[in-house]
Amino acid sequence: MSSDPYSDNQAPTVTLISPEDRLVNTGAPLNFSFTADNALDAQCKDQNLTYEVDIDGEPIEGLDFGTMRPGECIQTQDITNLSEGAHDWSVYIEDEAGNNVTSDSRTFYVDKNGLRVSLISPNNEHVSASPIFKFRVSGGTGLPFNYTLIVDDEEVKRSTCDGSDNNTLEVGKDSATDYSIKAPVPDCEDKTWTIKITDCAGNSYEPDPYHFLLDTADPGRVENLSVRDTPGETQWLYTHDSPGLYVSWDAKAGGDLASTPYDVFISDSEPHSIEDMEKVKSTSNTSLLIEKYGGKPLVYGKDYWVAVIARSKVGNYNKCFVAICGPVQTYEDMNITLDPGWNMKSVPKRLLDSNSSPESVFGKNSTVLYWNGTSWEVPKTIEPCKGYWVYSPEAFENNVKFKPIPSDNESKDMTDSLDFAPGWQMIGSTSMQPVAWSTTLASLESSNTDYKFSNLITYSHNEGWNGVIPGLGLTSITNGSESMTFNGDLNNDSVPRPIGMLQNEGLMVPGQGYWVFMSKEGTYNPSASDGTADSIPIDNSLTDNSAVDNGNTDNGTKDVGTADSIPIDNSLTDNSAVDNENTDNGTKDVGTADSIPIDNSLTDNSAVDNENTDNGTKDVGTADSIPIDNSLTDNSAVGTV
C-alpha cells in the first residue's frame, strides 16, 4: 500500500456481464459473471472488494459473499435449482473503507417446462356479435407470452384484453390464470375458435377449437316507459317523503330474453347513449324505484333522464331505439284530504306554480275562502301560513307538490310571513310533522309569559270546534265533541283528531287550518321560530300517550297543554273547573279565571249566534262583531261557516 495519504470516500463500480437482460433459460445451468473496480485504483491496488450476488432480493445459497481484486471478473458456479418463471438478479460490492454500490437489476426467465393452455368459453353456446372468449394459462409466474385469437381458422386482427400490451400478457401468480378477450365476429351460425400462445422461449401452444353460435338478434325496444315522482306517505298526523322516481314499463314477449332482461339507467344530464348514464340495476321485474344517483340521494327539483333496455340471453339490445324519459323531476309532496262539507285546511310549504291554484289543491268542485282580517276573499293561489275554509260536496283526496329549496341555501324567496292586526285571523300549520303551537307561533310571543294572541281554535269534521287559550293553559273554548273525552293513543288513531292533538298534546298538525284571535298587532313568521323544520324531533317525553294528565291535576281539572313535569298554576284556574261568579247569563267564561273580566262583546251570552246569522246559518269561527258575507255561504248549511 502506498504511504501517500489519501481519503477513500468514493464507492466502487460494478458491471454485470451475464446473463443478459431478458434471457430465457430453458434448461442449461446458469452462470452469473460480473466485474468490479475501486474508484481509487491507483492508490488501492492492494485492497480487496467484497461482493454478494442476489436473486429476487436474496443471496444465492452457498454464494452469500466472496472477495475479489479490483478489475477481476467473477463467474459463479452453475445454478440449476431456480423455479420456473421470471427472476431478477443484481450484485452488491463493498470496499475496505466501507463504500458500497448495488448494480442495476436484470431480469431473466426460467422456462424449462413450457406453458399449459386450455379454452374455457364459449363452448357450444350462443354469443353476441362482440363475444368474450375466455382461456386459461398456467406455468412459471411472470413468464410473458403473446396471444392470437383464431376464429374459423383465421386470425382476428382487432381484439382487446385487460392488462394486454400489444397482445402480450404475463402468467399470473396463481397456479392458473384466466384471461378474457373481446373481439367482433362476422355473422355466421356455426363458428369455431381457439387461441394461439407463444411463450418467451418461442414455443407455441394451440388447443383444439371450440364451437359457438353467433346470435345478433335483439329483443327490441322497451315500450310504454313511464317515470313518475314517488309520492310520500301522508297520515293525518304527519307526512314523510324522500326523493324518488318510480319507473315502470311493459314486459317484452318472447323466449330470447335473459333471466334478468331489463337494465335501468339514470343520468342528471341529457345522454346520447346508455354509455353516458349510470346503471341502477338489472331486474326481471317491470318496475323499479330509483332513490340514488352517484351514490347520493336524488335531489328535489333536479332534472333526471331514465332509460330502460331489454337484453337477450347473449346480452344484445337495441342500440338505435333505447327507451328513455326525461327530463323528469321528483318533488316533496303530501296528500290533501277533505271530508264532505266544510274543512279547515292549509299547506305547509310553497306549492309548485303548476299546482298552486285552489282547484289544483282542493279540487274543481270545492269552494275555498280566506279571511284576510277584515273580509272574506276567494284566493287565486294557495299559500303557506294561511288557513282556508274549504267546502267539498264529497270526500276528496289530492296529492300536491312543493317547490324545492334552492341548492345554494339562499331561501329568501321561500320565506313566508303574515302581518296581523287585532282580531280574528286564519293561519296554517307550516311543518310536515306535528309541532308544538308554542314553537310554531313563537313569533307571536310578546314575552316568556305573554302572547300577542288570546285564542287558538280549529274545526274538525270528527270533533267539531275547540282549541286552547295559551295565556291561561285552558283548552275548551267552544263545544267540542270526542276530543275532550278521548283517552286513547292519539298518535296511533287512524281517525283525524287535530283538536285532540291541539288540546291534549299542544301540537299543530300538518295540513290543518286554525283561527287565532290577535289581541295586538303581530307578524306570523313560522320560519323564524323553526316551526317549518321537519328535522326538529317531537319531544314525546313531554306528552302522555293517553292525552290525560296523570299527576299534576288541580282538583279534577286537567292541566291541558302542559307536560306532567310542568307545575300547574292553580291561581289561574277554578278548582272546580266551573266559573263560580263571573258567569254571563248561564254561560261559562271559558278560558278565563274569575279575576279576569269577560269581554261580552266578543261572545254570545247563550253561546249561540243571536244576530249576525245568515238565513239560519251560524257564522262559525267569527265573533258577532265580524259581518257575515251572505254571498259566500249556503243558506241550507248549519253550523259550518
Asked whether residue 607 is assigned to any structural domain, the reply reads no
Do residues 91 and 146 share a domain?
A: no
The span from the CA of 490 to the CA of 505, in Å, is 9
**Domain end marker among 512, 546, 572:** 572
pLDDT at 8: 67
**Domain end marker among 294, 328, 362:** 328
Q: Are strands 257-267 and 239-240 parallel, antiparallel or unpaired?
A: unpaired
Asked whether residue 630 is assigned to any structural domain, the reply reads no
More confident residue, 146 or 573: 146
Is the confidence at residue 560, as pLDDT, over 60?
A: no
Is the confidence at residue 29, as pLDDT, over 50?
A: yes
Is the confidence at residue 341, as pLDDT, over 50?
A: yes
Q: Which of 10-14, 90-94, 238-242 has the lowest mean pLDDT?
A: 238-242
Asked whether residue 346 is assigned to any structural domain, the reply reads no
DSSP state for residue 141 in the 8-state scheme: B
User: Region 587-594: what's the mean pLDDT?
Assistant: 34
The answer to whether 247 touches 308, Cβ cutoff 8 Å, is: yes
User: Region 583-599: what's the mean pLDDT?
Assistant: 35
Do residues 250 and 285 share a domain?
A: yes
Place of cell 279571511: 371
pLDDT band for position 78 (50/70/90)?
A: low
Q: Which residues pair with 337 in a beta bridge?
A: 397
More confident residue, 532 or 585: 532
Is the confidence at residue 556, as pLDDT, over 90?
A: no
Do residues 306 and 248 share a domain?
A: yes
Q: Which of 76-90, 250-264, 346-360, 560-574 has the lowest mean pLDDT?
A: 560-574
Asked whether residue 345 is assigned to any structural domain, the reply reads no
The span from the CA of 597 to the CA of 453, in Å, is 17
pLDDT at 62: 64
How many CB atoms lie under 10 A from the CB of residue 433?
Answer: 19
pLDDT at 41: 57
Asked whether residue 142 is assigned to any structural domain, the reply reads yes
State the chain's mean pLDDT as an integer.
76
**Domain end marker among 53, 77, 110:** 110
pLDDT digits (tens, 9 = 90+) for 153-202: 999 888 888 877 778 898 988 878 999 998 888 766 788 999 999 998 88
pLDDT at 58: 86
The span from the CA of 442 to the CA of 431, in Å, is 14
pLDDT band for position 285 (50/70/90)?
A: very high
More confident residue, 228 or 479: 228
Asked whether residue 533 is assigned to any structural domain, the reply reads yes
Query: Which backbone phi and psi does 234 adopt, to 5 degrees?
Result: -115, 120
Rg (CA), the chain: 44
Closest of 429, 462, 233, 427 to residue 340, by C-alpha: 462
How many CB atoms lie under 10 A from the CB of residue 134?
Answer: 15
Is the confidence at residue 480, as pLDDT, over 50?
A: no
User: Region 62-79: what's the mean pLDDT?
Assistant: 78
The answer to whether 514 touches 492, Cβ cutoff 8 Å, is: no
Of all residues in the chain, what percent carry a pLDDT higher than 90? Answer: 37
Is the confidence at residue 301, as pLDDT, over 80?
A: yes
Largest CA distance in the chain: 136
Is the confidence at residue 382, as pLDDT, over 50?
A: yes
Is the confidence at residue 45, as pLDDT, over 70?
A: no
More confident residue, 304 or 317: 304
Do residues 302 and 240 share a domain?
A: yes
The span from the CA of 502 to the CA of 508, in Å, is 6
Asked whether residue 605 is assigned to any structural domain, the reply reads no
Do residues 179 and 248 share a domain?
A: no
Is the confidence at residue 462, as pLDDT, over 90?
A: no
User: Region 460-471: what's the mean pLDDT?
Assistant: 84
Do residues 161 and 187 share a domain?
A: yes
User: What's the grid cell of residue 79?
Assistant: 445454478
Is the confidence at residue 606, as pLDDT, over 80?
A: no
DSSP state for residue 362 in the 8-state scheme: H
Of all residues in the chain, what percent carry a pLDDT higher than 70? Answer: 72
Is the confidence at residue 246, as pLDDT, over 60?
A: yes
The number of folded domains in the chain is 4
pLDDT digits (tens, 9 = 90+) for 216-234: 777 778 889 999 998 888 8
User: What's the grid cell of residue 468?
Assistant: 286552547
Do residues 53 and 189 share a domain?
A: no
Is the confidence at residue 615, as pLDDT, over 80?
A: no
More confident residue, 612 or 428: 428
pLDDT at 240: 84
What does pTM read for this prediction?
A: 0.55
Cα 24 to chain centroid distance, Å, stands at 56
Do residues 549 and 420 share a domain?
A: yes
Asked whether residue 8 is assigned to any structural domain, the reply reads no
Q: Domain of 166: which CATH number?
A: 2.60.40.10
Range of the domain at 138: 116-214
The span from the CA of 271 to the CA of 35, in Å, is 64
Q: Which of 229-243, 285-299, 460-474, 625-639 has the lowest mean pLDDT?
A: 625-639
Do residues 90 and 120 share a domain?
A: no
pLDDT band for position 59 (50/70/90)?
A: confident
Do residues 244 and 268 share a domain?
A: yes
Do residues 441 and 561 share a domain?
A: yes
The answer to whether 97 touches 48, Cβ cutoff 8 Å, is: no
Do residues 530 and 559 share a domain?
A: yes
Is the confidence at residue 500, as pLDDT, over 50?
A: yes
